[in-house]
Amino acid sequence: MKRMPAYLALSDGTLFEGEAAAALLTGEVATGEAVFNTAMSGYQEVITDPSYAGQVVAFTYPHIGNYGVTQRDEESHRAFLSGVVVRDLPVRHSNWRSEGDLESYLAAEGVPAITGIDTRRLTRHLRSRGSLPCAFGTGDPEAIIEAARQAKGTDNQDLASVVSTTEAYRVGSGKLRVVALDLGIKGTILKHLAEFATVEVVPSSTTADEILSLDPDGIFLSNGPGDPAALGHVSETVANVLGKRPVLGICLGHQVLAQSLGGRTYKLPFGHHGSNHPVKRLSNGHVEITAQNHNYAVEEGSVPGAVVTHVNLNDGVIEGIAIPALDAVSVQHHPEAGPGPHDASYLFDEFKVRIIAATGGSL
């Protein structure tokens, strides 16, 4: 396949040569915050994860697209990320589940891509310098470098309101009732919750009074994109429901829960993005291999009344907290996987048990 030459530039002036792909048209420039994902498979789940809004995802695995795409692997109704960077985008795909090829899918979703990039060099650079704004396109390399210097990262951005549902909707039909605050919720999370509950998914702007008026048995705080420090309104909502119902938070929901109690968050140098991060469960010493996708973390010792339940064995980042007095639990990693291992999926079962206990065991 004949492709147009293209360039990827980072905001520090570093330049990479590649070729335009998918929705990257001649003369156009795509921008976003460059991050890398180490998963070897599950690229469609990554591409449709709303938590990647505002980011350009570089896949470290060299062949992306070799097993095609299928609607069954989508995590949301569309792709929210700003672009895709790969080493090789196979022309042919082969898998019994496949319903099409990745490049056509990206083009239909309006996602620009660049292929032929030395993703190993790019990853090493981002590990050394941290996540950086970037730009890529088919134009003059100097103009693309300048576009990268003008590009925005995710700092101080409320991207949860961009990806959140605008209208409440319901999934599942269980006897338990869970309200899920949608900050960028993934479809696989809803599948887990719907196994034991009727789930009312509400916009990120929903107030505490509106949540409690739905008379939930439990409250779920979802994953999502952007800087948790920009979500003061959501933290206020969470603060006003804590202690009134059992709460479970995942990823951004974990960070917002911490903030609602006065905790602080900070940005990691290059974040955690992949399906192979070891996390130690402190209650029993077990090591769980987890899926992760976040650029921010909770500052140790900043959350009053919280007990640390999980830690990342790569860098010591807090991966989970519990506030027993308020019946609230949250984790930084993704127990639903999608893609990734299911070592931490027990957290959904524990949430169910906590909800039943809070209802007096009557359900």
User: 211-263, pLDDT tens digit by residue?
Assistant: 999 999 999 999 999 999 999 999 999 999 999 999 999 999 999 999 999 99
> Per residue in 314-353, pLDDT tens?
999 999 999 999 999 999 999 999 999 999 999 999 999 9
Q: Which of 74, 251, 277, 333 is catalytic?
A: 251
Enumerate the H helices of 42-159 as residue ranges.
Answer: 43-47, 102-109, 119-129, 141-150
Residue 340 zone, left/alpha/beta (φ > 0; ψ -120 to 50; rest): left
Query: If you average pLDDT over residues 275-279, what whole number do you get?
Result: 95
Which DSSP helix (H) or strand (E) runs through 193? Answer: helix 187-194
User: What was the pLDDT predicted at 138?
Assistant: 95
Q: What are phi and psi of 297, to 5 degrees?
A: -145, 165
Q: 75 catalytic, yes or no? A: no
> Token pair of 102, please?
């990745």
For residue 330, count other CB atoms closer than 10 A to its CB: 29
Catalytic residue check, 251: yes
Q: Model confidence over 139-184: pLDDT tens digits?
A: 899 999 999 999 999 999 999 999 999 999 999 999 999 999 999 9
Show the DSSP H helices in 9-154 as ranges.
Answer: 43-47, 102-109, 119-129, 141-150
- For residue 41, give both structure tokens: 């498979």
Answer whether 249's CB lies under 8 Å from 257's CB: yes
Annotation marks residue 134 as catalytic: no
Tokens 């077990």 belong to 286
Active-site choice (19, 75, 103, 336) = 336
Q: What angle do CA 28, 269, 131 make, to 5 degrees?
A: 5
Is 58 a residue whose pLDDT tops 60? yes
Q: Which H or E run includes 260?
A: helix 252-260
List of domains in the chain: 5-150 (3.50.30.20), 160-358 (3.40.50.880)
Residue 47 to residue 182: CA distance in whole angstroms: 18
- Reduced to 3 states (helix: H, G, I; strand: E, B; else coil), residue 171 is strand
The active-site residue, picked from 273, 277, 333, 334, is 334
Residue 362 in this model has a pLDDT that exceeds 70? no
Asked if 81 and 48 count as a contact pair (C-beta separation under 8 A), the reply is: no
Q: What's the confidence (pLDDT) of residue 363? A: 57
